[in-house]
């Protein structure tokens, strides 16, 4: 199993699809998987059942995939490694984990375009507030991302193809 993790907007899903295609294996996006299992959008789960319920289900589905699906590329949600013992489980049970690491300028540029679709940042009305939020939030999460990953890869100024090739290079050396 290959796991991609990192902050929202880092390209986990996009790179995960490209990587899986190159490897000829299935790609699963954990958020999409949760939505299918729960028959509800992530935003609806948060608003109707709360974050505690969502995080409990996220951990349950993550552990299911870690135990049953060894030959996939799995893209995690941005918060997945940060709750419970998820970081430890991810690192121990996956063969390869990659932290797609972006700087605040890169992430803010990407996220500013899709702010309205991201419940965590939709309330931030200007770029200065977004940058301030990202600085604090990424600082909190970075430790979990590092704990859960075997490799960190910078996403700054790289295309999906370049990131895919970089990951493939790491896989060939292991």
Pull the structure tokens for residue 53.
């319920």
Residue 171 lies inside a defined structural domain of this protein: no
Closest CA to 56 of 67, 45, 47: 45
Instruction: Let me know if residue 26 belongs to a domain.
Output: yes
pLDDT in tens, the chain (174 residues): 999 999 999 999 999 999 999 999 999 999 999 999 999 998 888 889 988 999 999 999 999 999 888 889 999 999 999 999 999 999 999 989 999 999 999 999 988 888 777 777 877 878 888 899 999 999 999 999 999 999 999 999 999 999 999 999 999 876
Contact criterion met (CB below 8 Å) for 91 and 148: yes
173 part of a folded domain = no
CATH number at residue 75: 3.40.50.300
- How far is residue 101's CA from residue 138's CA, in Å, rounded to a whole number? 10
94: containing domain:
2-156
Contact 6, 103 (CB under 8 A): no
Q: Is residue 146 situated within a structural domain? A: yes
Total tally of structural domains belonging to the chain: 1
Residue 135 counted as domain residue: yes
Q: What is the pTM of this model?
A: 0.92
In a domain, 165, yes or no: no
Residue 145 has φ and ψ, to the nearest 5°, of -60, -45
46 φψ region: left (φ > 0), alpha (ψ -120 to 50), beta (else): alpha
């Amino acid at each position: 199993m290959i796991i991609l993790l990192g902050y929202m907007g880092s390209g986990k899903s996009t790179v995960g699809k490209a990587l899986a295609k190159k490897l000829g294996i299935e790609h699963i996006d954990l958020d999409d998987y949760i939505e299918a299992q729960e028959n509800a959008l992530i935003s609806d789960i948060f608003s109707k059942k709360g974050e505690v319920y969502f995080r409990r289900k996220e951990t349950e589905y993550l552990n299911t995939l870690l135990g049953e699906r060894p030959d996939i590329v799995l893209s995690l949600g941005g918060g997945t490694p940060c709750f419970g013992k998820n970081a430890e489980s991810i690192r121990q049970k996956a063969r390869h984990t990659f932290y797609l690491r972006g700087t605040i300028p890169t992430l803010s540029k990407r996220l500013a375009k899709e702010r309205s679709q991201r419940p965590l940042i939709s309330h931030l009305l200007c770029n200065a507030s977004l940058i301030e939020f990202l600085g604090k939030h990424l600082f909190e999460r970075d430790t979990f991302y590092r704990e859960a990953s075997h490799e960190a890869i910078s996403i700054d100024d790289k295309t999906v193809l370049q990131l895919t090739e970089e990951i493939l290079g790491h896989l060939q050396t292991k």
